[in-house]
C-alpha cells in the first residue's frame, strides 16, 4: 500500500507526463494549433464535429482527424453516437487546464489567433 506522500508523488509524476504530452500535441506537432483551437472552442461550448468545422472554418475531415487524436490521448470525451456525438474537455484536460492556457497564450501570440 502506498503512503500518502508516495501517492502524491505518483500523482505529481502523472500530471507532469500529461502536461508534457499536452505540450507535444499542441506545440510540438504540425497540427498542434488546430488541436488547440478545437480545445479552446470546446471549453466554451461542447459541440459535434460538424459544428466545430463550421465554428472554426475548417474541413470536416480535418476536424475529425484532430478530434480522434485528442480522444485517443484522453484530452476529450464524448457523449452520443454517430453525427450526434458531442465532444467535451475530459477530466484529464481539466486537471492541467492551466498548462493549456499557457500553451494557448503562446499559440495565440505565435499564430495571431483569437
Three-state secondary structure along 36-64?
HHHHHHHHHCCEEHHHHHHHHCCCHHHHH
How many structural domains is the chain composed of? 1
The DSSP code for 72 is H
Q: What are the mean pLDDT values of the chain's consecutive 10-residue runs (114 residues total)?
A: 39 85 94 96 97 98 98 97 94 94 91 65
Residue in this structure with the C-alpha cell 506522500, named with its chain if needed: 5
Question: Residue 39, Cβ neighbours under 10 Å: how many?
Answer: 23
For residue 19, give its domain range. 4-111
d(CA 41, CA 94) in angstroms, rounded, equals 14
93: domain CATH number? 1.10.10.10
What pLDDT does residue 110 have?
Answer: 83
**pTM value?**
0.85
What pLDDT does residue 6 have?
Answer: 39
Residues in the chain: 114
Return the closest-CA partner of residue 31 out of 61, 2, 69.
69
Which value, in Å, is the radius of gyration of the alpha carbons in the chain?
15
Amino acid at each position: 500500500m502506498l503512503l500518502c506522500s508516495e501517492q502524491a508523488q505518483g500523482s505529481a509524476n502523472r500530471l507532469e507526463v500529461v502536461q508534457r504530452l499536452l505540450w507535444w500535441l499542441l506545440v510540438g506537432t504540425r497540427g498542434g494549433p488546430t488541436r488547440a483551437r478545437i480545445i479552446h472552442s470546446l471549453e466554451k461550448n461542447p459541440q459535434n464535429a460538424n459544428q466545430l468545422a463550421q465554428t472554426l472554418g475548417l474541413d470536416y475531415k480535418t476536424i475529425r482527424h484532430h478530434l480522434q487524436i485528442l480522444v485517443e490521448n484522453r484530452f476529450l470525451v464524448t457523449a452520443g453516437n454517430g453525427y450526434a456525438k458531442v465532444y467535451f474537455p475530459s477530466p484529464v484536460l481539466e486537471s492541467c487546464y492551466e498548462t493549456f492556457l499557457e500553451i494557448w497564450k503562446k499559440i495565440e501570440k505565435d499564430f495571431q489567433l483569437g
